[in-house]
């Protein structure tokens, strides 16, 4: 499906990002259909075991066997990140 969109663009390299309802099942399908980028939210953020949820997702992505999960965070969770002050 996404492969057709890439061809129709007429460009050499087009990245397709997919967001909304991404979990291991939909992620696998999106990758099969040609998605390059998966934007995952609720499946991870509402999980009681975030590390396991991330590993489940990463295990279905071709070429990835593991990741340094300590590098995955949000700005809200990291007090060391300087946040901009708005006037």
Per-residue pLDDT of the chain (87 residues; tens, 9 = 90+): 666 766 677 777 788 889 999 999 999 999 888 888 889 989 998 999 988 998 898 888 877 655 554 454 455 555 665 555 554
End-to-end CA distance of the chain: 46
Inter-residue contact 2 to 33 (CB < 8 Å) = yes
Position 69 scores a pLDDT of: 47
Contacts of 20 (CB under 8 A, 6+ apart): 39
Inter-residue contact 16 to 6 (CB < 8 Å) = yes
Position 82 scores a pLDDT of: 58
Give the E-state strand segments of the chain in sequence order: 17-19, 37-39
C-alpha distances out from residue 10 to 4, 32, 34, Å: 10, 21, 16
């Amino acid at each position: 499906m996404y492969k057709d969109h890439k061809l129709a663009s007429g460009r050499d390299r087009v990245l397709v990002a997919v967001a909304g309802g991404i979990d291991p099942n939909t992620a696998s399908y999106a990758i099969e259909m040609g998605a390059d980028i998966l934007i995952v939210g609720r499946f991870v953020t509402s999980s009681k075991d975030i590390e396991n949820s991330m590993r489940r997702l990463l295990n279905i992505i071709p070429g990835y066997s593991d990741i340094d999960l300590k590098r995955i965070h949000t700005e809200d969770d990291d007090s060391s990140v300087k946040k901009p002050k708005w006037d």
